[in-house]
Amino acid sequence: MSNFSSKTDNTANFDPITDQDFDAFSPNLKSQFSPLPTNAILTNAHNANFEILRVVLADDAVDLRRLLARLLSKDRRIEIIGEAEDGITAIRLCLELQPDVLVLDLSMPGSDGLNTLEAVRSNSSTAVVILSGLPRSQLEQSCIERGAFSYLEKGVSTSSIISTVIAAGDSR
């Protein structure tokens, strides 16, 4: 099982996800993400002129977080440095680790996504990408006004998530 946790020395502890772990995800969850074409990954991996973006994922659905970490890590421009299962942990990780980007779900325990968004944006330079199961029409404008870089609905393609995370990181 993947485990990210913040240590007192401000580093993240990561146990890698194996192919067996990845195959154990439910087919319904895996089907929410279309795979990134292999040639796109290879093309990006050979570009020596890119900055590696440090990313924290915050979603209370552990399987989704693990799958998203696995998919985003396939792009060598992205390094997952932490995961949070609630808003309070997401805020703490952002303050301690100072990631370039936070990928944030809105419906989480502890501190909902809107409060987490405001706390992160007011206390750090971390760009925030909302990845939510709630329709854009309900909350996108409110999130943008509170400082989110972008609002994505769960179910978008992996390549859309990756390109948005990279654009958010580049906007800092």
pLDDT, tens digit (0-9, with 9 covering 90-100), for 147-156: 999 999 999 9
Q: What percent of the chain has pLDDT over 70?
A: 71
pTM over 0.85: no
Over residues 121-128, the mean pLDDT reads 96
Over residues 24-46, the mean pLDDT reads 46
| Nearest partner of 33 among 164, 153, 155, 163, judged by Cα | 155
Angle at 103 between CA 74 and CA 60, to 5 degrees: 100
pLDDT: is 106 or 10 the higher one?
106
Residue 129 backbone dihedrals phi, psi, to 5 degrees: -110, 120
Over residues 74-88, the mean pLDDT reads 96
pLDDT value of position 148? 98
| Nearest partner of 161 among 32, 14, 48, 38, judged by Cα | 32
Topology classification of domain 56-172: Rossmann fold (3.40.50)
- Answer yes or no: is pLDDT of 38 > 90: no
Determine the residue type at 113. G
pLDDT value of position 31? 52
